[in-house]
Amino acid sequence: MAATDFRALERTNRRETALLVAVFLMLFTALGFGLDLLIGDLYLTDTGGIGGVPLLTVAALIIGIIQALASYYGGSRLVLASVHARALTPDTPQHQMVLNVIQEMAVAARMPPPRAYLMDDPAPNAFATGRDPEHSVICVTQGLVNTMDREELQGVIGHEMAHIRDYDIRTMMMIAVLVGGIAMLADFVYRWMWFGGPSQRRRSSSDNGGGNAGALILVVVMLLAVLAPIFSQLLAMAVSRQREYLADAASVEFTRNPRALLRALQTIANVESPLRNASRGTAHLFIVNPLEGARDDDEGFLDNLLSTHPPLSRRIARLQALLDQPATAAASSMQASGH
């Protein structure tokens, strides 16, 4: 799917993310309302409408939101501590250059520059976190600083800056709330079944067709309770991959030079070391999946579905397609000789 330029890529991406989030919301609502219908918080009225308050749906939502707010406001500090990062200071000319590149990308992105941190890890990687551009953080590894030249650094830091500007951290947090909420609702269904739920169901106010509708709702909710948690995980991964592609396109928007990120990803692809201090919880924040090293290649349909990041080969291919457009090719070769 070769796009003509980064703007077209960004548009498509934002549309697809919105679609995925809509599916998420529908799933959550379907499971929640279905459950509330079953246990009687909601009921079907004579005129075919729905009455009552979906208590369980609301409860799941509130618990999820409280969890999200906690990580929203405390988030950066926790993540930085878990990866043992320290503040990046201009103690060497190399570090001064990294700070300068961060400043350059902040100008290009029209954002205040994020606070800079450093991880003492030989694997080349970087991540960004923070709830909005004013409270954001970028962390790079010493390995990244050692292996990348200035052009490649611009590409990587541009990508991270894009995550911050497009509120990806916030989006993924919202997705996490929905995934957690769906898991919670599915759990309620199991407990309700375990405690002999179907036989305790209160009658709906309308009797005609009440029995058939009730049975149908029961079957649908059971199915959802089994399938929804898995499906929501897959959806969450799909959103994460979508945002990675978007950040790649936005990096090109900032640098106007697809070669920058392209070369950086190619360099990373040739390195085989996993990050020491990453965990499942923080993996999605990095530019390249830190847990398996750079083995982000196409590992097959199922493996790809479960991954937070798209395969490196595909990301490189999309950037290459941008580079092959006559307009961008001319622009980026001018840029490369100028900087």
Partner 1 sequence: MGLAIVVIIAVIVIAAIAGYNSLVSLRNQVQNAWSQIDVQLKRRHDLIPNLIEAVKGYMQFERDTLTQVVEARARAISAPDQASRIQAENQLTGGLGRLLAVMENYPQLKSDQNVLRLQEELTTTENQISFARQAYNDLVMRFNTRIEVFPTNLIATQFGFHEAELLKTAPEEQAAPKVDLSLGAKHA
Residue 83: helix, strand or coil by DSSP? coil
Nearer to partner 1, 11 or 77 (CB): 11
- Nearest CA to 34 among 214, 195, 230? 214
> Under the rule (CB under 8 A), what is the footprint of partner 1?
93, 96-97, 100-101, 103-105, 107-108, 110, 150, 254, 256, 338-339
Do the bridges between strand 136-141 and strand 126-130 make them parallel or antiparallel, or are there none, so unpaired? Answer: antiparallel
Nearer to partner 1, 196 or 338 (CB): 338
Residue linked to tokens 């926790």? 78
Sign of CA dihedral 20, 23, 25, 28: negative
Strands (E), the chain: 42-44, 50-52, 86-87, 115-119, 126-130, 136-141
Residue 250, exposed/middle/buried by CB under 10 A (0-12, 13-18, 19+)?
buried
Cβ neighbours, 10 Å, residue 222: 16
Q: Identify whether 244 is a catalytic site residue.
A: no
Nearer to partner 1, 11 or 339 (CB): 339
Nearer to partner 1, 110 or 280 (CB): 110
Inter-residue contact 140 to 159 (CB < 8 Å): no
Minimal distance in Å, beta carbon 105 to partner 1?
8
Token readout for 217 is 């709702």
Inter-residue contact 155 to 35 (CB < 8 Å): no
Alpha helices in the chain (DSSP H): 6-39, 55-82, 93-109, 142-147, 150-165, 168-194, 210-255, 258-269, 301-305, 312-323, 326-338
Nearer to partner 1, 161 or 278 (CB): 161
160, 244, 253, 299: the catalytic one is 160
Minimal distance in Å, beta carbon 96 to partner 1?
7
Residues with catalytic function: 160
